[in-house]
Structure 1
Amino acid sequence: MEVKKLITAIWLIWFCVPAWARPEEIFRLEIPAEAGGMARAVRPDGQVKVLGKVLRVPTATRYPGYTASAWAEPGTVAATAVNAIHVTVSVEDEKGRIVSLVPAETIAPAAGTAAAFVIDCPAGTGLFGGWAPVVGDRARVRRADGTLRELTAAQLPEPGETLVVSVTEDPDGPYMIDFENRVGGEVRAYWRGGSKAIATVERPFRGVGRFSGSKFQRRSALRANHCGVICVSTSDVGDIGGFQIIPWEHSFSPEMKSAWEKTQWMIVRSIDGEKMTARAPLFKGVFTPGAQALEKLWDFWSTYGRRSLVMCRVDGGEWRRFDATAGKDDHAFDHITHLRVYAPFTREPGKKTRLGDFR
């Protein structure tokens, strides 16, 4: 009987407890530190996807970086978005020092002019879309002889070297997260075998705001994720409109205090008393901007699964995509009662079919 109880307990732990600490590398990004070099993604089997030409390399770091960059572990991706990727190089005096990757045509106020790789890649696609990393992915520098070193402020990538980002996915991570858009509403994560409430809503969102990067993302899709923000685009490509989800701790940052007065932010708070900043699954390790509708990755499931999707319910009705909503309107979403954010994936859930390459 005791053995049977033990087996049952192990089964419950394996199937019913979220495991957010077993990421696997699904590809690596390689960004040469030389103008004219080609940025690319390399799969574990050696497949290569060219992502664009390097137009400019960083000659400095940006310090201080935006507030949440200080919450990332040095040497990791601090933000992933359709218009920029930021890597925290170091944390000094509780402020982050960053280096960035940006598309040639973009709006990325957090990236310093001299502190960024500029890539000839359209915003919202490729490196800034389906091939984007997740927050927390490790960034290092590969020397000309093939050995790796840490990325530091004192030693940025030099000609002949390559910035290498290991892009990961946790196969046991959540596949979607639901938010009840009301004060005291539940935030619930769903994963293989079960679900769990992970936070509560301190303040619901009601309005749409002018978050500039949403210009490069389609509606009902993730615009950005960093250690203290999930930004959702509600406007069509070319228009500007969206809202943000932030952790309770970030709502007291100098630039975010208006989140308690304005309606374009949802504020969430953990139920276990621990900080939510830089913590999976909301603010680390899961989300990317995702592939555009016509963008293809290495096979059917990666192409389909890495398309970002955010849905809502109006007055408790059926799940649906957001209507195209741009500009600033404090009451555009007064009737949205529920929100659902899907996590990206690159393999079929259950692995029951073999489709081969998606062509």
Structure 2
Amino acid sequence: MRASPSTARAINDRLALGLLQQHGPLTAAQLKTETGLSRPTVADLVERLGAAGLIEVVGESGAVRRGPNAKLYGIVAGRAHLAALDVRLGSVSVVVTDLLGATLAEDALPIGGDTGTGPAVERAAALLESAARAAGPVPLHSVGIGAPGLIDPATGELRDSTGLPAWHRGLVRELQRRLPATVLVENETNLAAVAELREGAAKGRDTFVLLWLGQGIGAAVMLDGKLRQGASGGAGEIGFLPVPGVGGLPSAVDCAGGFHSLAGSAALCELASTHGLLDLATVSEGGEEAAAVATVRAALEAGEPGEPFLKEVADRLALGSAAVASVLDPGCVLLAGAVGHAGGPALAARVEERLAAMSPLRTEVRAGSLGDGAVLRGALITARDAAQDALFAPED
């Protein structure tokens, strides 16, 4: 069945806009080459997109021959602004960009555990509004939020989760209430996987599992370029995975006794202590992630003295990775989060070697390349995709 003329135009326009988003400004001739469309069809879509205020002439190609064919067309980046928030247990970070991702404003704010729900929500919402004003008078179109916890796949809302601050859910609802923008929320680990797929270490590999190694443990499942969230939004809750060697089992409300008890930051700090690499008395409550990151880096720099600790860390991570590989066979596991980034390729290589001895399924292990900023990048990509779907959909 052939597409109607209006459908064909919409498809061609989206194709051209996607290329301009990906490659930057292009001439009509370059659009013709990249799209495979005829010269008249490209001329029509350029005129149509320009009249709709979606693209504009941004310069010339530098060719010797000047004229209409040398015009460079680019997306109107200032048509709308986007925002992304990374909501953590004790802080929130925000960035505001144009449609092409150029940073216009950014800020961060600590929110202590003793802050009440109402004041915490107000402070976080005010942070976003302040950044939006600093970015200029263009309105926000879409806001992407990354937060710990489960996202209900049916409603897209952050679910109530034991151990997570109540202000997280309150913030999402408040922003949806007071902003004219589209507000989207997603699990932080899932957003990190989106960012690594589009801009980081998983680029070019559309099937992989990302292990988020930080204060807590999480995983994101990416199959054929799509996030798999599970029936209840809990795909990747690997912290609850029962594992040997922890002296118990996790419960429905507590991941103690699961993989978290082997590979979470607190567990790695305890392991470092047994190897004489860390004095637990110097680690403040809530500061386990920073201590684990510093210890992993120090062990890598120490060479041979740090090897016993690194070997056991790799053994633990390989155990969780083997469980994932045996069920999903993703072919690639990405070590992300603060600890995964600190370990880098050296830790990833150790995990891959140990995993190869545990599983018959060939699984590459890579280090994430975006570090702790992956969540914010993923939230921004989500906001940009939403804006692109809405703004770059030509009318019939």
Q: Same fold (TM over 0.5)?
A: no
Q: Give TM class, smaller chain.
A: under 0.3
Higher strand share: 1
Higher helix share: 2
Q: What TM-score comes out, normalization by structure 2 length?
A: 0.24
